[in-house]
Amino acid sequence: MGKTVTEKILGRHVKGGKVSQDDFIFCRIDMALGNDITAPIAISEFEKAGFRKIFHRDKIALIPDHFTPAKDIRSAEQVKILRDFARRYKIRHYYEIGRMGIEHALLPELGLVGPGDVVIGADSHTCTYGALGAFSTGVGSTDLAAGWATGHCWFRVPKTLKFVFSGKRNRWVTGKDLILYTIGQIGVDGALYRAMEFTGPVIRKLPIDDRFSMSNMAIEAGGKSGIIEPDEITWEYVREHQPEQGVRKIEANAEYLKSDSDAEYEKVYEFNISGLEPVVALPSLPSNVQPVSKLKKITIDQVVIGSCTNGRISDLRVAARILKKKKVAAGIRCIVIPATQEIYRQAMHEGLIEIFLDANAAVSTPTCGPCLGGHMGILAKGERALATTNRNFTGRMGHPESEVYLCNPAVAAASAITGRITHPEAV
């Protein structure tokens, strides 16, 4: 019986070189990351356990992105814990405000994660890096602390669900729509502790930023990971984003990063998306998905364009194309958050920031901010937001009696103009 790409990657990170589904393995890790919410807990556990050494100063990343720039004393103290720990152990990849970005956009941009890697992070959206052909997954802060000390993590090798996308991808339909549609089909627990493998003709043509969006939201279906086999689109991205401390080795023979034709899958889903239009996830689950054309009567108070799901340069370009020479509707707040400093800089050079400002949108420094109800766009009681973020649970962006709807950047920008959920073709 052949192996899936997930099984092959994990096999290369354990003694003996082979794994099977449901095996419990002690797996070598290539990167272990934490943020200003989760890493302080991991640091506390690391110290309580009596650890005095980290496994590798270049394979740990500490990214203060959730409540930063610090919104209050407590959030400032959280970041200080990271900063002090990074200094104490000479951790290379601690990024202060001004160099920081949203972690799941920053690490690929810096070339710190890539094909064939095993990556753990004390953040559920660590599954993002599967877009590059890595096995990457979220873990608890205690597991992260153990990973810092040992360079290993315990896993149960997940079964794999295969998602085959075929047909013609219509205009304005993005990776965000594909993953929301998928979650709508299988539910928020439809991939519980499963590797979600995305493939098919549509995926092979999908730009890398759209792939990041899909892998990022695998966790919203309960997935352990969301992976796409590396192809030339992947390798082009990897070549363009070399790590700052040296050139990443690009495998000359990367056949092991493809699933075998006789690999065992728990289930195969086949989706023909030729008739798919942009979709929106209604409160209060990412699986509560409807076509945007059915929601045009729903008014909104706030639009957020950003996050680790949709804050990349291609997302900002789409939003700017729609907002150019138009205005955000009176009484509507539109907040644009580039995911990294480099994306912010590029958006400025391309004139996108000026377009947003001319449209009366607010542009923020990189931060997770409103996505988790942190700051930079908290909702009051009764308010409704349309966001390119990844979760719309009750109270996710503020008051428990507020509402969050999820969509792609084009729908978000179009809706900011009209003040109600709107198809991009309508503006």
**Rounded Cα gap, residues 257 and 9, in angstroms:** 7
Does the structure show a pLDDT above 70 at 252? no
Which pLDDT tens digit goes with each residue over 3-56? 999 999 999 999 989 999 999 999 999 999 999 999 999 999 999 999 999 999
Burial 3-14, CB ≥16 within 10 A → b, else e = bbbbbbbbbbbb
Q: Where in the chain is the domain with CATH 3.30.499.10?
A: 5-250+260-271, 280-426
CB 118 within 8 A of CB 134: yes
Residues 6+ away with beta carbon under 8 Å from 376: 335, 337, 364, 367, 369, 370
**Is residue 246 pLDDT above 70, yes or no?**
no
Q: Whose CA is closest to 256, among 11, 26, 31?
A: 11
Task: Please compute the mean of the pLDDT values over residues 158-176 and round it to a whole number.
Answer: 98
CB 138 within 8 A of CB 123: yes
Q: Is the pLDDT of residue 155 over 70?
A: yes
pLDDT confidence of residue 248 = 57
Strand order of the sheet with strand 289-291?
A: 289-291, 279-281, 403-406, 384-387, 302-305, 333-336, 362-363
How far is residue 398 from each of residues 309, 376, 382, measured CA to CA in Å? 19, 11, 10
Residue 121 CA to chain centroid, in angstroms? 12
Question: What mean pLDDT is reported for the chain?
Answer: 96
Q: How does pLDDT run across 325-342, given as a tens digit for each residue?
A: 999 999 999 999 999 999
Under the banding of pLDDT at 50, 70 and 90, the label for residue 256 is confident
For residues 322-351, one letter each, b for 16 or more C-beta atoms within 10 angstroms of the residue's C-beta and e for the rest, the string is bbeebebbeebbbbbbbbbbbbbebbeeee
Quote the CATH superfamily of domain 280-426: Aconitase, domain 3 (3.30.499.10)
* pLDDT (0 to 100) of residue 399: 97
What integer is the mean pLDDT of 209-220? 98
Whether 254 shows a pLDDT value over 90: the answer reads: no
Q: Which amino acid is at 390?
A: N
What pLDDT is attached to residue 1?
83
Q: Where are the alpha helices (DSSP H) in 33-96?
A: 39-48, 73-88
The conformation of residue 246, written as its DSSP 8-state character, comes to: S
* Average pLDDT for 139-146: 97
- Across the range 210-220, mean pLDDT stands at 98
Answer whether residue 282 shows pLDDT above 60.
Answer: yes
pLDDT single digits (tens) 78-95: 999 999 999 999 999 999
Confidence of residue 255 (pLDDT cuts 50, 70, 90): confident
| Band of residue 224 on the pLDDT scale cut at 50, 70, 90 | very high
Percent of all residues in the chain with a pLDDT value above 90, rounded to a whole number: 95
Check if CATH label 3.30.1490.20 holds for domain 5-250+260-271.
no
- Range 128-140 average pLDDT: 98
pLDDT above 80 (res 298): yes
Helix extents (H) in 350-425: 352-358, 409-418
Torsion of CA 105, 140, 177, 398, to 10 degrees: -90
CA dist 226 and 98 (Å) reads 30
pLDDT of residue 244: 56
**In the predicted model, is pLDDT for residue 238 greater than 80?**
yes
Confidence of residue 251 (pLDDT cuts 50, 70, 90): low
Calculate mean pLDDT across residues 268-289.
98
DSSP 261-272: TTB--SEEEEEE
Supply φ then ψ for residue 63, to 5 degrees.
-120, 105
